[in-house]
Amino acid sequence: MGRLVMKFGGTSVANIERIRNVARHVKREVDAGHDVAVVVSAMAGKTNELVEWCRDVSPMHDAREYDAVVASGEQVTAGLLAIALQTIGIQARSWQGWQIPIRTSDAHASARILEIDGAELATRFKERKEVAVIAGFQGITPQTGRITTLGRGGSDTSAVAIAAAIHADRCDIYTDVDGVYTTDPRVVPKARRLDRIAFEDMLELASQGAKVLQVRSVELGMVHNMPIFVRSSFDKPEDIDPHATPPGTLICSEEEIMENHVVTGIAFSKDEAQISVRQIEDKPGVAASIFGPLAEANINVDMIVQNVSEDGATTDLTFTVPASDYRRARDTITAAKSKIGYARIDSATDVAKVSVIGSGMRSHAGVAAKAFAALAARNINIRAITTSEIKFSVLIDAAYTELAVRTLHTLYGLDQA
């Protein structure tokens, strides 16, 4: 007997029939003798609709009210799943973030979980064998007592945080694919499912755009050494033996991984914008005069490329920001023009970042060089490059994203046979 967290994403709870299917998955684990906490997302498309509604009312809406609106999707699915469970004879109770409580920071729309009190859930497991059905994505900030949300995809983070709080043996993430693949299987049909992936590699994949897990959930898994198992909710619940290992991907510590490839996977993101500041003076303090105001405006700068000055007087500086921050970033640089001193700004929003990830790169040279040659052979122009110990990224025209991903996937031997 053990203790499990089972998290179900939007497509897994997309309608009443799918919610009944989830209830049967939960029943299987309860019947096997486990204590179960379930974390649910809103029905597929619901959060997008709620976000749209806020924008429709006012593009400059109050973040506290945005959270009050968008947190409602999860409240509905938690209640419905509790009813579906009760209907098939399973004791269940729904919980919203404030009821547990899941305490978060006060950064509305992108709050971080600070603390979860798992005591009441544990008591109910023991005394009533009651399944806890928890609304994902939401919490409460102690400062004001108001509802917060954790950023898009945040139910993954709710699930791993709950798993740590109740000392679960494992956190199962049920989704619409049966595991983590070498790249998005919807884009590259030859992508291969990984049996295991190290937290470090998964962290990079997630932060470079693989949306199968929210970045913060992987961080929490790593900190608490909580095994995360990504699997499909689309397998028939009754066909699964709760004591066998189903198809899926275990995210675990590096020591538990047997086979070690140099490249683990490829991620991509079209949510990028490139800004080039032309003919800035090549003198100390210039980078600070550009990136200081951007940091103050809470804009995350990712890739940075500065040319070596040719004439010793001026140079160009290129960087990327999330597409959603592009306007604000441009405005921020324009507002600081007299302080920075530059000739003009060039920018592009139809760009994409493709990242090759693998902790095996630490001990292998020349991994990136191979990619540059392969992309050149396909006539794909590289606008910017960044590298770190276990990954490198290239910025390219968005139109070439799929071609670049497929080319690199084959190049590094990731295609399935």
Residue 81 C-beta: closest distance to ligand ASP, Å: 14
Asked whether position 154 contacts Mg ion by CB under 5 A, the answer is no
Q: What is the dihedral of CA 311, 312, 313, 317, to 10 degrees?
A: 90
Terminal C-alpha separation, the chain: 38
| Coil, strand or helix at 342 | coil
3-state secondary structure of 5: strand
Is 41 among the residues that bind ligand ADP (CB under 6 A)? Answer: yes
The mark string for 383-402 relative to ligand ADP (x by CB under 6 A, - otherwise) is: --------------------
Amino acid at 282: D
Contact in structure between 254 and 298 (CB atoms under 8 Å): no
Binding partner of residue 248 among ligand ADP, ligand ASP, Mg ion, none, CB cut-off 5 to 8 Å per kind: none
Number of residues counted as binding ligand ADP (CB under 6 A): 20
**DSSP SS3 for 283:** coil
Q: Is the peptide bond before 101 cis (omega within 30 degrees of 0)?
A: yes
Tokens representing residue 128 in the block: 């009533």
Looking at the Cβ atoms of 10 and 118, the one nearer to ligand ADP is: 10
Q: Which of 42, 81, 180, 404 binds ligand ADP (CB under 6 A)?
A: 180
6 binds ligand ADP (CB under 6 A): no
207-266: which residues touch ligand ADP (CB under 6 A)?
Answer: 210-212, 265
Q: What is the footprint of ligand ADP within residues 54-93 (CB under 6 A)?
A: none
Task: Output the CA torsion sign for 190, 192, 198, 202.
Answer: positive
60: number of Cβ within 10 Å: 5
Structure letter (DSSP) for residue 399: G
- The response to whether 10 counts as a known ligand-binding position is yes
Structure tokens at 243: 């004591």
The 8-class DSSP code of residue 194 comes to -
Residue labelled with tokens 């898009």:
152
State the binding partner of 73 from ligand ASP, Mg ion, ligand ADP, none, CB within 5 to 8 A by kind.
ligand ASP
User: Does 46 belong to an annotated binding site?
Assistant: no
Q: Which stretch binds ligand ADP (CB under 6 A): 56-64, 173-181, 217-225, 336-344?
A: 173-181
Query: Using CB distances below 5 to 8 A depending on partner kind, what does residue 152 bind out of ligand ADP, ligand ASP, Mg ion, none?
Result: ligand ASP
Q: Does 136 bind Mg ion (CB under 5 A)?
A: no
Instruction: Return the residue matching tokens 């809103």.
Output: 42
Bridge partners (DSSP) of residue 147 are: 140
User: In which residue are the tokens 């649910």 written?
Assistant: 40
- Residue 181 assigned to a binding site: yes
Residue 25 near residue 191, CB atoms below 8 Å: no
Query: Is residue 157 within the footprint of ligand ADP (CB under 6 A)?
Result: no
Reduced to 3 states (helix: H, G, I; strand: E, B; else coil), residue 173 is strand
State the residues that interact with ligand ASP by CB under 6 A. 9-10, 41-42, 47, 73, 136-137, 152-156
Q: Are strands 92-95 and 131-135 parallel, antiparallel or unpaired?
A: parallel
Q: Which is nearer to ligand ASP, 67 or 156 (CB)?
A: 156
Binding site membership for substrate: which residues? 47, 74
Binding site membership: which residues? 7-10, 47, 74, 175-176, 181, 186, 211-212
Which residues of this chain interact with ligand ADP, rule CB under 6 A? Answer: 9-12, 41, 153, 175-177, 180-181, 183-186, 205, 210-212, 265
Binding site membership for ATP: which residues? 7-10, 175-176, 181, 186, 211-212
